[in-house]
Amino acid sequence: MGQALISAAQWTSAKDGSKGKLELTPLNEELLNTILKFVEGFSSKSPEEAKLVFKKPLSWETTLSATQFGGSSLKEVQQRLTPGMVDAELTLLRDLSGHDDERHVLQHIDYYGQTFVFKNGCRAQPWRQVHGDICYIEARPHDVDTVLYITAHTSGFYLNKGPDPEKPGQLILDRADEDIHRDLVTLLKAKSSKFTELINKQEFAMYEEHKHDHRYDIGTDEEDGEPTARSDQQTWMQKEKGQDEKDKHGKQRQNAKKKPEPSLKWKALGMEEYKEEQHVRPKDKEKKAKNKGSPQRKTKTPLEPADSFSESSTESEEEEEAIDRRSEANADLPSEYWQIQKLVKYLKGGNQTATIIALCSLRDFNLTQETCQLAIRDVGGLEVLINLLDTEEVKCKIGALKILKEISRNTQIRRSIADLGGLQTMVKILRDPDKDLKCLAAETIANVAKFRRARRTVRQHGGIKRLVSLLDCVALTSSHMTPEMEQDVEVARCGALALWSCSKSKKNKEAMQRAGAIPLLARLLKSPHENMLIPVVGTLQECASEPSYRLAIRTEGMIEDLVKNLKSLGKPNPELQMHCASAIFKCAEEKETRDLVRQFGGLDPLVHLLTNMENKELLAAATGAIWKCAISPENVARFQELKAIDQLVALLANQPEEVLVNVVGALGELAKAPPNRAQIRKCGGIPNLVNLLTGTNQALLVNVTKAVGQCAAEPENMVIIDKLDGVRLLWSLLKNQNPEVQASAAWAICPCIENAKDAGEMVRSFVGGLELIVSLLKSEDKEVLAAVCAAIANIAKDEENLAVITDHGVVPMLARLTSATDDKLRQHLAEAISRCCNWGNNRTAFGKEGAVAPLVRYLKSKDEDVHRSTARALFQLSKNPDNCITMHEAGVVQPLLKMVGSEDEDVQESSAGCIGNIRRLALANERAKFA
């Protein structure tokens, strides 16, 4: 019985040695319900049998044989796959695919290759259809490095062996494993745990399509005449919240025949298809006539026509689903909770005057307290407040927006407002001629748009364009400001606040740029008012992560204004300074911007901000700006004059990681100048840097290894690093899984080996160290390969170490990389080959591994460093006669003859030496002929 139930149920795939778990599927639910019904009634129906306890499975002997179970009454039932079933499942999964690994179940899924659909619906070749093949599919899950190639067969889905390397465009159709799965989803669940996690989050429902799907109905509560907004989506939300009791007070009208069809229905609201025309039913018009005294609900703003449903924002979800923290017992709730609930009831049932009085009374409460905020939500107050936004009464709208602005600071309230369609209404209010309404709507949007779905909703309903239009106000430097002009400035400030929240989305940034936000922000940046500058600079620093914005900020002359606000000649505003420094931090990726910051005197205030030890956010922004500005040597000279190194070294202790990453990054850039390396040592910075090598923050490790590597270029610094066991720590970071950390550690090891007193012995003292660094030549990251080749070139200077890495197979690994096209990798690879030729038969081995001819092609590069290292490698390899023949056949002589005339003496000598070896071999062959 138990085994039968186990085989009948649907289970997740087993992983990490554990057993699978029951999936949440209709089949399993039905099975469990059947078992429950049987168990519940078993005791009453069979009391005697229910008392029996089975401590082990019941078994008995029988004389029946298997052949006795044959007959026409038994029949094997098997459902075979059809092309239609495969196409339906693949289409659904394709719609759920994309690059966002938090929302899309797969990166990509589609039919393999160029397919032709035959009349029977199959896409496989006719000679494969005979064997039952329907089509072939390629899928790429988020957590699997390789593409999965799948065969859809009439018996099920299984993995094949993928593309045939000898026959482009064709698959090796043999099974990759023995498993056959009943559907595509089951196969992908078995191969990808990430897919399993994401597909289980998707929700499927019956979506009833009819003529008025995209309009909100207007209903009236039968008890107290409350105007309420109903929609298919809101009804769904109410059921989710357990508020079914409200549904019996209002009926949803249905004027068209509904055609049910299966469809995907998302929890995120505001996702309706765009409609050019909004329909208004005759009954709705009658209701408007009847309820003139009550505020009325209007239709929602339509979606932007060109906007897709997907959100390409790369920013993380700032707010996870909030936990609903309700009090366990009503006795624990304060009296304000019940008073607010009574006021909301008056808000629902009263006329216009009563509504305004109730709104004013609600504002008397401390709406910043969570208890008061949740009291409004729990009694259905949010729905009423959002409904009031659609009335014709300006006072009601203003009162509702003032309350929504205050309570929308709560995470749960924000999401509820978005769920109830409040954002769409507020976007519509942005067109209202009343400036107070615009301000309140924009400020509320600024509070609500703190999470991804809300930002997407604002964009899809045309909110970005309207918010940008609010920025267009009078010149802020006017000497005389009338009350109307001041109100325009306040509207612009609120618009900037909303855009600041919305600008965390990449698509919103693009929409802002298309709407012409940049010149308007540039004009507002000249404002003398700090309350205007903070949201404007905040928006700019969010947008500065995009290259197009960085270019615009520079060309619009905003760098000068940012530097001016950074100085804050009057009483400094730390928040404004922090946003200005953050904007410079992001914009200083380009050299032109770094030069402008220096020319406008921005380096001095940045260094001065390092004294704000308590304000960590300001400190992180200032150190980040210094880091990026220090990339330019001209700026480094100014930082030296300002004694920035002393202050930066002081920040290496007792600071959060976001500050340390920037501080160490700045020291790494400053340490490129030899005097600064000595200064870091004098300030006691070397021990602190070495200590940070034991951390786990990946960004910090990348910067620390770079800084230690720069400091190690100074022999006196290297003595301290060696005493503190810094080289061993660097070597251990080669085991890190992050390629950036690996590459940075390998680069740092190079100057350590060059400047250590007994480098050969030091390297040999690391158990397994040489084997580890040779194994990194298998990496697929070009930067890691280049860094490791540079390290091997330094290691190979010691003869004993060269012998060890030769035994570890360094020669074939280096030879395998000679087909590289990246000049940086080519330079260090050729240098490593040159050094490795100095042991045993390595020159001959390189020739046999086919490394010689590809090296000749390096001479076509335009990089002089590549020419230098390649000439050295060819000179070393030319000491083997077979290699000379290979070089000559590859056409090495002509490029080398040109390089003999190089101004670089090293290139001259290596080129001449290689040509000399080839010539001597040729002369020896001539003599041998006549001997």
CA nearest to 778, candidates 823, 732, 817:
817
Query: How many structural domains does the chain have?
Result: 2
Is residue 36 domain-resident? no
Q: How many C-beta atoms lie closer than 10 Å to residue 822's C-beta?
A: 12
Q: Give CA–CA dist 96/358, Å, rounded.
A: 46
Is residue 413 domain-resident? no
Question: Which tokens in the block code for residue 621?
Answer: 């922004």
* 263: confidence class by pLDDT, cuts 50, 70, 90: very low
Name the burial class of residue 30, with classes exposed (0-12), middle (13-18) and buried (19+) by CB atoms within 10 angstroms of its CB: exposed
CATH number of the domain that residue 862 is part of: 1.25.10.10
Three-state DSSP class for residue 26: helix
CA nearest to 492, candidates 444, 458, 442:
442
* 296: confidence class by pLDDT, cuts 50, 70, 90: very low
The residue segments making up the domain with residue 803 are 758-930
Phi, then psi, of 228 in degrees rounded to 5: -130, 150
Q: How far is CA 578 from CA 123, 519, 533, 570, 581, in A?
A: 60, 22, 12, 16, 5
Average pLDDT on 765-783 reads 93
What's the pLDDT score for residue 220? 32
Residue 301 reports pLDDT greater than 80: no
Under 8 Å between Cβ of 496 and 536: yes
Residue 7 reports pLDDT greater than 70: no
Q: Give CA–CA dist 532/538, Å, rounded.
A: 10
Q: Tokens 């505001």 label which residue?
A: 270
Is residue 96 domain-resident? yes
The residue type of 715 is P
Q: How many C-beta atoms lie closer than 10 Å to residue 143's C-beta?
A: 12
Digit-coded pLDDT (tens) for 202-222: 654 333 333 333 333 333 333
Specify the range with the lowest mean pLDDT, choosing from 169-173, 480-484, 537-541, 701-705. Answer: 480-484
Three-state DSSP class for residue 108: strand
Residue 99 reports pLDDT greater than 50: yes
Average pLDDT on 28-36 reads 79
Q: Give CA–CA dist 407/400, Å, rounded.
A: 11
What's the pLDDT score for residue 883? 92
What's the pLDDT score for residue 279? 39
What's the pLDDT score for residue 19? 53
Three-state DSSP class for residue 624: helix
Specify the range with the lowest mean pLDDT, choosing from 125-134, 257-266, 467-476. Answer: 257-266
Bigger pLDDT: 630 vs 266: 630
Beta pairing, strands 148-153 & 133-140: antiparallel
Specify the range with the lowest mean pLDDT, choosing from 26-35, 198-207, 895-904. Answer: 198-207
Is residue 117 domain-resident? yes
Q: How far is CA 592 from CA 59, 76, 624, in A?
A: 85, 76, 17
Three-state DSSP class for residue 821: coil
Is residue 873 domain-resident? yes
Q: Give CA–CA dist 119/83, Å, rounded.
A: 11
Residue 193 reports pLDDT greater than 90: no
Is residue 502 domain-resident? no
Digit-coded pLDDT (tens) for 496-509: 999 999 999 999 99
Name the domain boundary from 153, 172, 191.
191
Bigger pLDDT: 168 vs 844: 844
Beta pairing, strands 217-220 & 108-111: unpaired
Three-state DSSP class for residue 228: strand
Full DSSP string of 127-193: HHHTTTEEEEEEEE-TT-SSPEEEEEETTEEEEB--EETTEEEEE--SBSSS--BSSHHHHHHHH-H
Question: Which tokens in the block code for residue 718?
Answer: 């290297």
**Rg, Å, the chain Cα set:** 36
DSSP state of 757: T
Digit-coded pLDDT (tens) for 667-684: 999 999 999 999 999 999
Under 8 Å between Cβ of 734 and 742: yes
Average pLDDT on 776-790 reads 95
Question: Which tokens in the block code for residue 170?
Answer: 């064709």
Please indicate, yes or no, whether the overall pTM of this predicted structure exceeds 0.85. Answer: no
Phi, then psi, of 181 in degrees rounded to 5: -110, 145
Q: Tokens 């005697």 label which residue?
A: 48
Name the domain boundary from 158, 191, 224.
191
% of the chain surpassing 90 pLDDT? 53
168 contacts: CB under 8 Å, gap ≥ 6: none
Is residue 904 domain-resident? yes
Is residue 802 domain-resident? yes
Average pLDDT on 636-648 reads 94
Q: Give CA–CA dist 872/879, Å, rounded.
A: 12
Name the domain boundary from 140, 171, 191.
191
Residue 274 reports pLDDT greater than 60: no
What's the pLDDT score for residue 4? 60
Question: Which tokens in the block code for residue 872?
Answer: 């050295």
